[in-house]
Structure 1
């Protein structure tokens, strides 16, 4: 057979085999037989079936941005008529509300909450927890893009910032116990009956590390930095409340394990997340600061004049370091004042020509000056303030409406002074004054 004829027969055989394989390939992906519209409609039907399939609806702990905010639990019960019943622990109102939703087609399939309900509280730009989030709100969304299902969970990504959000099947207890999340919030904030100072302690089974623990109730966010020299690790995290403890995001990674669920122990006020092989992370109280500094020396006699100020109408109000007891004492002053009067500032002027002065200013009345002496507790790295006079009068009694507040600054066990690493909007350094005896902590600017 001539070579050219051999090539001709071989080419014909290859063509026949190719045509046969194209018409008889039973393993071909049927996805390519569907149009994009068909695929989207199938996904829409799939999502609709999933949303209606759970007897008690769905639960989502929504961390809108876990670099600045915590998590907010939402419960959803979808109905065939396009309505949804919803509840959340965004605030004390955990009642169930009905609104409308729609499964929408775009570049992908999404569920959108089309009429206002609890989820929209996270997306309103004029509703924000701290000045830094002004005009941004809680960075949330009310449209979630569908990305499939896994282990009985529905996987979404948020339309606003493309963050993953998972719906897990809710239980009857989730609805009944939602208000307990807000009761747990009080334990995260901390009781006035417990020590002020707290820490996060991790244990990888062999080694423990300690971190400070600074929680902001307004943002549900924790700043937690190592207190050990040469160990520059942080565990900043958003916090979501549960009836039995908290869930955090991002996870606290210890010994290669990621811990997210912390269980509350009412006996000592601790929260513990437990892994395997001895791995734990525990948030617990301590009677003194983890690190004592020499920052208190700024206020000792012989130093220059310094001015420290807390202002009720400015950013010091937002400091996460202000304790609940301190805020309560400010409120008590205002409650005791006549109508039309309120406290504006608590300022500390050290080493003036008249000595050290605690200066209280008010709306609707003249300021009041408390003259004090300053003593050093070198061993405890604290200052101790002692009464001299009110407005220059050594015989004048403490004004009744200031008595409860002022006694904390006069703590016989002293005051810790700490320069903070953060700023409060302006460039001035921030200092915190803390009672050594109880959970009283006031944050100020150092203004000169």
Structure 2
């Protein structure tokens, strides 16, 4: 055994001697000390940052599995200051702060005093209290290619990206602010309006046909979860963050579907949609007339028997009630004012289904408030027996039910027309009732007009 050990050590000594002899006339691996190399790398990054007289355009996705991205314009100065603006919010004025280039685990760009970049880590943002967008102000430098500087977010290495590229501006002070104000305004094109449908879709067209997904876009998070659920219970779902460009948007991560990849979508003003064309295929983000898939939720209403659906503004608001429906109620108030009867408001709407009655099988109850004295007036309007066809609810209006109803009928006709939509109503169950003021265990849901899909009302069911 001792002989084996002696032979082992002898071999090692010979090997080390060989390396030593080999390196006598060899090349030195590192001509600089570690400290000198680090200083050189820092200097290289600093020179790149300050070399652009009109700064850089930065795109930052803080966490592409939860949030969208933001655009920044940054001009790095040799005195350690950086001038910056962004499309994070409406406060787009250029702010000056400090930055540093240093060595941590690798070369790092650090924004050391508060500026627009710190907004992404603000834990007090409405709807994101405690987390914010989970961003940072410390970035690890990963290299430069074709003028683009690539960094990694130290908090979210696998889901974040921060890229700086030359701004191509001629006047940083004026053009940078104009740019971010344009991209900030671009977000409005993906929001519903009183005229736009409430159904946002992702549609992919290729040789296999059209595939529609409900977009499920959250404008607060700038994040979408396109999804479709089939009758057999199977689900196809994607998710990506959205960053708005001057005339389009970028999604991250890239959407992969049937062998093609979609990243950049251009805005098409004629159709009001965002379109990405790749190898003869097309992915479109649009407002559709119907959802990608209509659930069987309407069948559950039949099982409830005689039941009522209640919409009452006094219970608080919910974003599922569309801007179009709000405008419909304002139209009714305008009708009263033009009559002229002064200022009146729709105070209560009850839509009651009774599948067992032959007389006024389904009726609409409307309570109106006369603002001048606070007096309330009610009216009932009858519909024939409800019909469910192709997962849609069809109601045929049969007339007023006495009392104030005949007098009010022409004034409240927009609401009657909504419930008697010739193309039916789409119902969606939405769990327990929740609003800005209350939360109840009552089942809640929405009705949307197929004839005019900008009209959707959210309310609760009562027995």
TM-score by length of 1: 0.76
How far residue 220 of structure 1 moved from its aligned partner, in angstroms, is: 1.9
Q: Aligned partners of 2:244, 2:275: CA distance in 1, in Å?
A: 14
Picking from 124, 131, 135, the partner of 1:140 is 135
Work out whether residues 302 and 351 of structure 1, in 8 Å CA contact, stay in contact via their aligned partners in 2.
no
Matched, 1:378 2:376: no
User: Corresponding residue for 2:324?
Assistant: 325
Picking from 198, 201, 211, the partner of 1:199 is 201
Matched, 1:441 2:440: no
Matched, 1:269 2:272: yes
Q: Aligned partners of 1:85, 1:94: CA distance in 2, in Å?
A: 12
Q: Out of 375-384 and 430-439, give the one that drifted further.
A: 375-384
Work out whether residues 408 and 435 of structure 1, in 8 Å CA contact, stay in contact via their aligned partners in 2.
no
User: Corresponding residue for 1:431?
Assistant: 445
Picking from 143, 162, 167, the partner of 2:164 is 167
User: Corresponding residue for 2:150?
Assistant: 155
User: Corresponding residue for 1:81?
Assistant: 79
Work out whether residues 201 and 213 of structure 2, in 8 Å CA contact, stay in contact via their aligned partners in 1.
yes
Q: How many residue pairs end up in the alignment? A: 426
Structure 1 residues 351 and 379 mapped into 2: Cα distance closer, same or farther (>3 Å)? closer
Q: Render the CA deviation track for 1:187-216: whole Å, top value 9, x for unaligned.
A: 222454454434212235444422122323
Q: Aligned partners of 1:404, 1:72: CA distance in 2, in Å?
A: 45
User: Corresponding residue for 2:228?
Assistant: 226
Q: Aligned partners of 1:436, 1:274: CA distance in 2, in Å?
A: 29
Matched, 1:21 2:22: yes
Picking from 100, 107, 110, the partner of 2:98 is 100
How far residue 45 of structure 1 moved from its aligned partner, in angstroms, is: 1.7
User: Corresponding residue for 2:39?
Assistant: 41
What secondary structure is seen at the aligned counterpart in 2 of 1:19? helix
Work out whether residues 200 and 282 of structure 1, in 8 Å CA contact, stay in contact via their aligned partners in 2.
yes
RMSD over aligned Cα atoms: 4.5
Matched, 1:240 2:243: yes
How far residue 282 of structure 1 moved from its aligned partner, in angstroms, is: 1.5
What secondary structure is seen at the aligned counterpart in 2 of 1:23? coil
Work out whether residues 372 and 385 of structure 1, in 8 Å CA contact, stay in contact via their aligned partners in 2.
no
Picking from 120, 123, 143, the partner of 2:121 is 123
Q: Aligned partners of 2:315, 2:162: CA distance in 1, in Å?
A: 37
Work out whether residues 150 and 163 of structure 2, in 8 Å CA contact, stay in contact via their aligned partners in 1.
yes
- Report matched runs for 1:243-262 at 5 Å: 243-262=246-265
Structure 1 residues 22 and 234 mapped into 2: Cα distance closer, same or farther (>3 Å)? same
Q: Render the CA deviation track for 1:238-258: whole Å, top value 9, x for unaligned.
A: 221111111112211123332
Structure 1 residues 13 and 161 mapped into 2: Cα distance closer, same or farther (>3 Å)? closer
Work out whether residues 102 and 111 of structure 1, in 8 Å CA contact, stay in contact via their aligned partners in 2.
yes
Structure 1 residues 422 and 47 mapped into 2: Cα distance closer, same or farther (>3 Å)? farther
Q: Render the CA deviation track for 1:345-403: whole Å, top value 9, x for unaligned.
A: 9764635999654678999968876644455343461244857579x743563898xx6
Q: Render the CA deviation track for 1:285-310: whole Å, top value 9, x for unaligned.
A: 43333334443355569814355567
Could you list the runs of 5+ residues in structure 2 that have no partner in the other structure? 1-6, 336-342
Q: Aligned partners of 1:144, 1:159: CA distance in 2, in Å?
A: 6
How far residue 120 of structure 1 moved from its aligned partner, in angstroms, is: 2.3
Q: Aligned partners of 2:97, 2:163: CA distance in 1, in Å?
A: 21
